[in-house]
Amino acid sequence: MIEELLRPKVVINVACSLDGIIATNKGPLDLSNEEDWSRVHTLRNNSDAILVGINTIINDNPGLKVKHVKLTPPHPYRVILDSCARIPLDAKVLQEQATFPTILFTSEITKSKSLVLKEKGVSIEIVNKTEKGFLDLGMILDILYKKYNIKKLMVEGGGKVVASFITYKLVDELIIFYAPTFVGSIDGIPLFPVKAKETISAHDRIQNLDCKKMGDGFLIKIQYGENKCQ
Spell out, one character per residue from 117 to 156, where the chain touches ligand NAP: x when CB under 6 A holds, - when not: -----------------xx-x------------------x
Stretch that binds ligand NAP, among 78-86, 116-124, 147-155, 194-202 (CB under 6 A): 78-86
Q: From the list 33, 42, 83, 230, which residue makes contact with ligand NAP (rule: CB under 6 A)? A: 83
Options 161, 170, 183, 219; binder of ligand NAP; rule CB under 6 A: 161
Quote the least distance from Cβ 168 to ligand NAP, whole Å. 8
Inter-residue contact 50 to 77 (CB < 8 Å) = yes
Cβ neighbors of 112 (< 8 A, separation 6 or more) are: none
How far apart are CB 38 and ligand NAP at their closest, in Å? Answer: 15
Cβ closer to ligand NAP: 157 or 202?
157
Find out whether 9 and 172 touch, Cβ atoms under 8 Å. Answer: yes
Residue nearer to ligand NAP on the CB measure, 13 or 45? 13
Among 36, 48, 82, 142, the residue binding ligand NAP under the rule CB under 6 A is: 82
User: How, if at all, do strands 9-16 and 21-24 pair?
Assistant: unpaired
Q: Is 164 one of the binding residues for ligand NAP (CB under 6 A)?
A: yes
**What x/- string results for residues 19 through 58 when contact with ligand NAP is judged by CB under 6 A?**
---xx----x--x--------------------xxxxx--
User: Burial, 52: exposed, middle or buried (Cβ in 10 Å; 0-12, 13-18, 19+)?
Assistant: buried
Of 114 and 202, the one with the shorter C-beta distance to ligand NAP is 114
Among 76, 157, 188, 217, binds ligand NAP (CB under 6 A): 157
Residue 16 forms beta bridges with which residues? 178
Identity at 129, one-letter amino acid code: K
- Considering only residues 197 to 226 of the shown chain, the ones binding ligand NAP according to CB under 6 A are none
Each residue of 32-41: b (16+ CB within 10 Å) or e? Answer: bbeebeebbb
Q: Which is nearer to ligand NAP, 39 or 160 (CB)?
A: 160
With CA atoms as reference, report the closest residue to 31 among 167, 189, 162: 189
Rule CB under 6 A: which residues touch ligand NAP? Answer: 14-16, 22-23, 28, 31, 52-56, 59-60, 81-84, 86, 134-135, 137, 156-161, 164, 189, 193
